Amino acid sequence: MGELEIKNNSRIAARAIDLQQLRLAVAACDYGSFRRAADALSIKHTAFSRSIGQLEHLIGTALFKRSSGGIRPTVTGRAVLRIARLILDQVDTLVETGISGGRGESGHLTIGLCTSISTGNLRASLGEFRARLPQVELATAERSRLRLMTALCGGTVDVVISPGRLLSKNTRTLPLWSERILISLPQDHGLAAREIVYWTDLRNETILLSQYDPGRELEDLLISKLVMPEDRPKIERHDVSRGILKSLVSMGMGLSLVMESDIGASFAGLVYRELQDGTGPSRLDFYAHWRDDSENPALKRFLNLLAERYPSPSPALGG
């Protein structure tokens, strides 16, 4: 088969794939079973399996390994499913953009975040904004930073609050507050008896990190504090939420790095201790990001509130 014919066949297959097939494949992966996914989506089991089979035929490879205990993605299947999730996210953003464009934005503000609001400055800022402007419809969106910046550029999110500066074209950035980094550990752990834990105390520990934001920043910070590989603890990365990670820590499976805003919701069996080096507490900086061409009056009022609460000696920076 020639290269041109292969390309033509690929184009034909790509046009034949529909979004429903991708959604069912992602659901199957999430539930770990065709039957459970079909039941959850109220779809006949045979129709569900047939749709997955058609998708595999169009792609030209098996996406899942079947067994009596359920299914799990093949190596190629994991790559395909990652792309499928991105495609579905983009489609959701497209739909949200269309809906957003059909309504007035002056009384609506959507804030994107990838951090906890159980306590801390973001929670306080949202509360004050609501108290000052109760007539503004306030919405929040918790997603990964990639999805948040996609939504910001598409106009479905008005402002993104995140740890670390996210560089993107046609956006502006406002420095806000910083949060201390803490270590969460079981209450019966040896380090729990201390008020302060030093980075060097973690050398022989196992650190559990979420693959969700802001896991990357926390891992980078750990590496910057313990430069020599032999001085670093064992790092385990888990594809779970912050809540599940707390459960793993409480079970004694390791320790975890958390930010100050993440400790407002109490969790049985866990304690938190401040992490320090020779110069004092370790911190992560937070920033607000918004589109330079935004004309949303509610956004301008929210940014004014942030600038008032967290004044900076320098002006807002271009992205």
pLDDT digits (tens, 9 = 90+) for 164-208: 888 778 899 999 999 999 999 999 999 999 989 999 999 999 999
Distance CA 124, CA 102 (A): 31
Q: Are residues 269 and 190 in the same domain?
A: yes
Q: Are residues 199 and 64 in the same domain?
A: no
Q: What is the pLDDT of residue 100?
A: 45
Note the helical H segments in 190-281. 215-225, 242-250
Q: What is the pLDDT of residue 295?
A: 85
- CATH code, domain with 118: 3.40.190.10
- Read off the pLDDT band of 8 (50, 70, 90): low
Can you give the residue range of the structural domain that contains 159? Answer: 107-177+285-318
Q: Are residues 184 and 173 in the same domain?
A: no
Residues in CB range of 312: below 8 A, 6 or more apart: 174, 175
Q: What is the pLDDT of residue 98?
A: 55
Q: Is 302 inside any structural domain?
A: yes
Helix (H/G/I), strand (E/B), else coil: 257: strand
Q: What is the pLDDT of residue 105?
A: 36
Residues in CB range of 1: below 8 A, 6 or more apart: 9
Residues in the chain, how many?
A: 319
Q: Are residues 260 and 186 in the same domain?
A: yes
Q: Is 150 inside any structural domain?
A: yes
Cα-based angle 312, 212, 97 (whole degrees, multiple of 5): 75
Q: Are residues 10 and 136 in the same domain?
A: no
Q: For residues 294-310, give the mean pLDDT.
A: 91
The 10s digit of each residue's pLDDT in 245-297 is 888 999 999 999 988 888 877 778 899 999 998 888 988 899 999 999 988 88
Q: Are residues 152 and 210 in the same domain?
A: no
| Counted domains in the chain | 3
Q: Is 100 inside any structural domain?
A: no
Q: What is the pLDDT of residue 309?
A: 93
Q: Are residues 189 and 268 in the same domain?
A: yes
Q: What is the pLDDT of residue 262?
A: 82
Q: Are residues 75 and 164 in the same domain?
A: no
Q: What is the pLDDT of residue 13?
A: 54
Q: What is the pLDDT of residue 201?
A: 93
- CATH code, domain with 31: 1.10.10.10
Q: Is 102 inside any structural domain?
A: no
Q: What is the pLDDT of residue 11?
A: 62
Q: For residues 16-37, give the mean pLDDT.
A: 90
Which residue has better confidence, 228 or 94? Answer: 228
Q: Are residues 155 and 69 in the same domain?
A: no
Q: Are residues 219 and 74 in the same domain?
A: no
Q: Which two three-digit tokens encode residue 222?
A: 């750990």
Q: Are residues 165 and 297 in the same domain?
A: yes
- Whether pLDDT at 7 is above 60: no
Domain stops at, among 94, 115, 143: 94
User: C-alpha distances in angstroms, 106 versus 151, 156, 291, 304?
Assistant: 18, 14, 15, 15
Q: Are residues 20 and 61 in the same domain?
A: yes
Note the helical H segments in the chain. 3-16, 19-31, 34-40, 45-59, 75-101, 121-132, 145-154, 215-225, 242-250, 297-309
